[in-house]
Amino acid sequence: MSTAYLLIGGNLGNRTAYLQQAIQLISETCGNIVHSSAIYETAAWGVTDQPSFYNQALAVETSLAPETLMQQLLEIETIMGRKRTVKMGPRTIDLDILLIDELVISSRLLTLPHPALPFRRFALLPLCEIAPSLIHPVLHRSISQLLAECTDELDVQKKSVAAN
């Protein structure tokens, strides 16, 4: 059994409802969600002329292999209406694997740890809420250290309290 740390988010439609639906589908198909952060609202990163995002971090106990987990998350995105028309564009749901245990993987489908994690406050802040002492397997720093060192100035606001 592995622990996968995911970041889920979206900026179209009822963002809270989409996060809840994603959590339900992840728990049904990927594994047991053992921790979830509060929901955070963030201005769009990259392509900025779009609605703000809601993001949430999850810790999932899974028996799926990393690439199988990624394929399942992509399937959930499709089920939930994700359309990949504009890179970094608006979306109903976005499901990313940030880390799985201490794994370091680089394949066509999946790179672990997520290469942008140390540079994105909107990912580090919710992850730090549920796993502050988790060590990044390449940088050998805790998530709380990476958050303290992050130079991303994008405003990230807590919108809700954590469910567990």
Give the tens place of pLDDT for each residue, 121-148. 999 999 999 999 999 999 999 999 999 9
**pLDDT for the residue numbered 86:** 64
**pLDDT for the residue numbered 47:** 78
In the residue annotation, 84 being an active-site residue is answered as no
Residue 73: how many other CB atoms lie within 10 Å: 25
In the residue annotation, 152 being an active-site residue is answered as no
**pLDDT for the residue numbered 150:** 97
% of the chain beyond a pLDDT of 90: 82
In the residue annotation, 82 being an active-site residue is answered as yes
Q: Is residue 24 part of a domain?
A: yes
CATH number of the domain that 85 lies in? Answer: 3.30.70.560
Query: Pick the catalytic residue: 15, 49, 84, 94?
Result: 94
Query: Pick the catalytic residue: 15, 49, 82, 155?
Result: 82
Q: Is residue 66 part of a domain?
A: yes
CA distance 94 to 156: 17
Query: Pick the catalytic residue: 15, 49, 84, 96?
Result: 96
Domain count of the fold of the chain: 1
What confidence tier does 33 reach under pLDDT thresholds 50, 70, 90?
very high
Q: Is residue 146 part of a domain?
A: no
Q: Which DSSP string do the residues of 21-76 spell out, in sequence order?
A: HHHHHHHHHT-EEEEE---EEE--SSS-SSPPEEEEEEEEEE-S-HHHHHHHHHHH
Q: Is residue 56 part of a domain?
A: yes
- The boundaries of the domain holding residue 48 are 2-115
Backbone φ and ψ for 30, nearest 5 degrees, come out as -115, -35
Q: Is residue 134 part of a domain?
A: no
Mean local confidence (pLDDT), 5-25: 96
Q: Is residue 50 part of a domain?
A: yes
**pLDDT for the residue numbered 44:** 87
Mean local confidence (pLDDT), 79-86: 77
In the residue annotation, 155 being an active-site residue is answered as no
What is the tens place of the pLDDT at every residue in 97-108? 999 999 999 999
Q: Is the pLDDT of residue 30 over 90?
A: yes
Query: Pick the catalytic residue: 15, 91, 120, 121?
Result: 91
Q: Is the pLDDT of residue 153 over 60?
A: yes
Mean local confidence (pLDDT), 53-77: 97
Give the three-state DSSP class for 149.
helix
